[in-house]
């Protein structure tokens, strides 16, 4: 009797284990099918694209090009949500806390994803783990521009003028910790001089004040500066990639002006919150790669010096890690003092 009881207990435990395994397997299958169904039906409502800068800048311009084309492809509106401030970290914090359902995406930017982490600043999110990289949209130089009435209209004269007037020549930037700000800091470090840095909340306000003469110089993204250069409202002096952009074949690089190794580029990409469904990531990546190959889109991006966009999510993730390391070295060498508050 005791033997039968023990056997019955063992059989019961075995049966319960089998049942539990079957329940777990069924639950897993149902979850997988549900996730697949979600990805397969995505998108079935509007998508929000968070941009960390105000309208009028290069980030906003590139985001709108992508948003318009994706809206046409998907039959769902991709709505731009501009959240300027703190060099893009406010926008990225919102993205990090958004549901990972594909209906909130973000315009990834060098400032919040590479520079701020390299500065060692405390952030409300982890740049390495709180996001899902989707695709690189393009890399563009900054360009050193001047007000049309500026005393010095080339880099050599500008350095000489700053040495005669230390701390008095005004430079605007898109914010503390922005790539424009770091380009300024690198310039001051390499030229062994000092200007007066004035941070704004994005490229748009910088350009308004530069054109009006409230500030005299700025390193700005080509995307933001190009319309004003073409209209003659600002003067281009130098660009900040080690190779000249085809959009500005007659504007020298900082390296060509004697600042060896000077590189302070801007890059843009698309990303989502962490744990975004791989099928949704793959769909966005495929569709954006298709958009980037369109001749009219290539021409539009070329106008503002945006190059080398496209590729896989894995390649974009590797690109971010490498770029972050590069900025960390720059920060270590130049030792900029930056307050994001």
Q: Model confidence over 242-284: pLDDT tens digits?
A: 999 988 999 999 999 999 989 999 899 999 999 999 999 999 9
If DSSP codes are grouped into helix, strand and coil, which group holds residue 120?
A: coil
Report pLDDT digits (tens) over 169-213: 999 998 887 889 999 999 999 999 999 999 998 888 999 999 999
Q: What are the tokens at 181?
A: 């700000």
- Judged by phi (left if over 0) then psi (alpha if -120 to 50, else beta), residue 63 lies in alpha
Task: Give the CB-side neighbour count of residue 31, counting CA atoms within 13 A.
Answer: 7
List the domains of the chain with CATH numbers.
47-139+265-334 (3.40.190.150), 141-239 (3.40.190.10)
Give the residue from 305, 307, 309 showing the smallest Cα distance to 290: 309
- Helix (H) / strand (E) element for 309: namely none
Is residue 34 a contact partner of residue 79, using CB atoms and an 8 Å limit?
A: no
Could you say which DSSP state residue 87 is in? G
pTM of the complete model: 0.77
Q: What are the tokens at 178?
A: 């922005």
- In angstroms, the CA 238 to CA 215 distance is 18
């Amino acid at each position: 009797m005791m033997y039968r009881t023990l056997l019955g207990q063992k059989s019961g435990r075995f049966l319960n284990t089998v049942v539990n395994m079957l329940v777990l397997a069924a639950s897993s299958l149902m979850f997988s099918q549900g996730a697949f169904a979600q990805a397969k039906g995505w998108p079935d409502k509007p998508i929000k694209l968070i941009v960390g800068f105000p309208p009028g800048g290069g980030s906003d311009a590139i985001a709108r090009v992508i948003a318009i084309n994706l809206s046409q492809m998907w039959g769902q509106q991709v709505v731009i949500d501009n959240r300027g401030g703190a060099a893009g970290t406010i926008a990225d914090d919102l993205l990090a806390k958004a549901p990972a359902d594909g209906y909130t995406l973000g315009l990834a930017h060098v400032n919040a994803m590479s520079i701020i982490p390299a500065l060692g600043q405390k952030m409300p999110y982890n740049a390495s783990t709180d996001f899902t990289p989707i695709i690189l949209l393009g890399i563009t130089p900054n360009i050193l521009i001047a007000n049309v009435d500026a005393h010095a209209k080339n880099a050599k004269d500008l350095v000489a003028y700053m040495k005669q007037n230390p701390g008095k020549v005004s430079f605007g930037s898109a914010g503390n910790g922005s790539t424009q700000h770091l380009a300024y800091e690198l310039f001051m470090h390499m030229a062994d001089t000092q200007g007066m840095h004035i941070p704004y909340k994005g490229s748009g306000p910088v350009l308004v004040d530069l054109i009006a003469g409230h500030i005299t110089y700025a390193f700005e993204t080509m995307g933001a500066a190009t319309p004003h250069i073409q209209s003659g409202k600002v003067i281009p002096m130098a660009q900040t990639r080690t190779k000249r952009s085809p959009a500005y074949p007659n504007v020298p690089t900082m390296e060509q002006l004697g600042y060896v190794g000077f590189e302070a580029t801007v890059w843009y990409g698309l990303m989502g919150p962490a744990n975004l469904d791989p099928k949704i990531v793959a769909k966005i990546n495929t569709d954006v790669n298709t958009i980037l190959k369109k001749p009219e889109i290539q021409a539009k991006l070329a106008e503002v010096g945006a190059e080398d966009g496209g590729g896989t999510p894995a390649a974009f993730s590797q690109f971010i890690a490498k770029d972050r390391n590069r900025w960390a070295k720059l920060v270590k060498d130049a030792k900029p003092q930056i307050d994001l508050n």
